[in-house]
């Protein structure tokens, strides 16, 4: 009888401990969600909570296929394609923003390969691209001039009218 009583008390204490642990986890979760909400309000933007799953990276599958196609590459960790895709995204963002800044500083309406070449030559982290952009034209020293439209002469209109003579209407 004493053993049964001890076993019953142990089960009760274990159940109480389990309930306390669950309550503690719930309280921690509520506190975490409250902190996240306050952080979002302070930042003025809505961030997905830490518990929500992230969107799958669209380039990760492509990168994984490219890596698997190489015979020298063995096993690929699950995070590797996603990390490579993110690194590529950040690099392209830097490249595009830098090129756009060059174009804006020269008051250009259109971003051209010469703007890209100028940015690559100015930024040390893009030195490896110099060979690839070598064939692009260099930027001039003066700001880019606005191209002027050519007026169409009256002879062009007359030629267009003559071309329509053979049609019956």
- Each residue's pLDDT tens digit, 45-67: 555 554 445 566 778 888 888 88
Whether 84 and 48 share a structural domain: no
Encode burial over 25-47: b for 16+ CB neighbours within 10 A, e otherwise.
eeeeeeeeeeeeeeeeeeeeeee
Residue 169, pLDDT score: 43
Express the helix, strand and coil content of the chain in percent, nearest 5 each: 65, 0, 35
Residue 79, pLDDT score: 86
Whether 69 and 125 share a structural domain: yes
Does the pLDDT value for residue 1 go beyond 70?
no
Question: Averaged over 138-146, what is the pLDDT?
Answer: 64
**Domain that residue 115 falls in:** 58-129
Number of domains observed in the structure of the chain: 2
| 137 in a structural domain | no
Q: What is the pLDDT of residues 89-129, one digit of tens each?
A: 999 999 999 999 999 999 999 999 999 999 999 999 998 99
Question: Averaged over 152-159, what is the pLDDT?
Answer: 57
d(CA 76, CA 83): 12
| 143 in a structural domain | no
Contact 95/119 with Cβ under 8 angstroms? yes
| 134 in a structural domain | no
Whether 33 and 90 share a structural domain: no
Whether 64 and 125 share a structural domain: yes
Whether 19 and 67 share a structural domain: no
Whether 23 and 75 share a structural domain: no
Whether 43 and 62 share a structural domain: no
Residue 45, pLDDT score: 54
Question: Averaged over 69-85, what is the pLDDT?
Answer: 87
| 74 in a structural domain | yes
């Amino acid at each position: 009888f004493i053993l049964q009583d001890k076993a019953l008390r142990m089960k009760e204490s274990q159940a109480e401990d389990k309930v306390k642990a669950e309550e503690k986890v719930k309280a921690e979760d509520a506190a975490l969600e409250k902190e996240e909400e306050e952080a979002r309000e302070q930042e003025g933007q809505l961030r997905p909570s830490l518990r929500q799953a992230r969107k799958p990276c669209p380039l990760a599958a492509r990168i994984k296929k490219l890596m698997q196609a190489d015979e020298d590459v063995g096993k690929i960790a699950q995070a590797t394609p996603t990390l490579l895709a993110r690194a590529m995204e950040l690099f392209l963002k830097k490249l595009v923003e830098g090129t756009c800044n060059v174009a804006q500083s020269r008051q250009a309406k259109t971003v051209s390969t010469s703007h890209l070449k100028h940015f690559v030559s100015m930024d040390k982290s893009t030195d490896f691209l110099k060979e690839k952009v070598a064939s692009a034209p260099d930027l001039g020293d003066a700001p880019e001039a606005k191209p002027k439209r050519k007026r169409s002469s009256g002879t062009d209109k007359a030629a267009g009218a003559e071309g329509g003579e053979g049609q019956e209407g």
